[in-house]
Structures are given as structure tokens and as C-alpha cells.
Amino acid sequence: MTNRRFPEEPTYDPNAVLDAIIERLQLKNDAALSRALEVAPPVISKIRHRTLPIGATILLRMHEISDFSIRELRAMMGVPAESINVNINA
């Protein structure tokens, strides 16, 4: 198993979005965040250590519980809006 890091962009910072959600929801720590997101605690740890990317499913869950828009969440992560590839005609 390789220890891959996601994504390769130098501005990517998953901690910013995790911390913003913790603050918005007034949670105590990552364990409380994992319960709110309904994911196992190691998922949050892997995201923080950049060994697991924030995928579409967890991004949607972050949006649902925090009321941040998807665009706001992606901006906090350092993912430029122009990198969003959505084809509504598909």
C-alpha cells in the first residue's frame, strides 16, 4: 500500500474546512465532528493528514450539517471554483 497524498495542489488545506465546521457547529473536537458527519473518527484523521481526500459524499454531508455552500467549502479547502467540473446535460 502506498502512502498517497491528495490532492497535489500546494494551496489545498483540508484542516481549514474541518476547523471552520467545528467552529460553526461549536463542537469540541474531531471526535464530535466525526459524529456530526456520521463517519468513523479515523476518516477525519486521514483527511487532516492528507492521506484521504475530501470526496463528494463527505463534502455534501459537510454542506448539509454546516449550511456552508459547496463553493464556500471548496474555497476554504483551497480548491479553485473553476476546477469544479459539473456537466448538467449529462
Using one digit for the tens of pLDDT, what is the confidence trace for 2-54? Answer: 555 555 556 889 999 999 999 999 999 999 999 999 999 999 999 999 999 99
Q: d(Cα 25, Cα 78) in Å, to the nearest integer?
A: 21
User: What are the extents of the domains in the chain?
Assistant: 14-77
14-77: CATH, from 3.40.50.10860, 3.40.190.10, 1.10.260.40, 3.20.20.70: 1.10.260.40
Tell me if residue 25 falls in helix, strand or coil: helix
Neighbouring C-beta atoms of residue 9, cutoff 10 Å = 12
User: Is 83 a residue whose pLDDT tops 80?
Assistant: no
Question: What gap in Å lies between CA 17 and CA 3, rounded to an integer?
Answer: 22
Q: Which of 41, 90, 7, 2 is nearest to 18 (CA)?
A: 41
How far is C-alpha 79 from the chain's CA centre?
11
Can you give the pTM of this predicted structure? 0.78
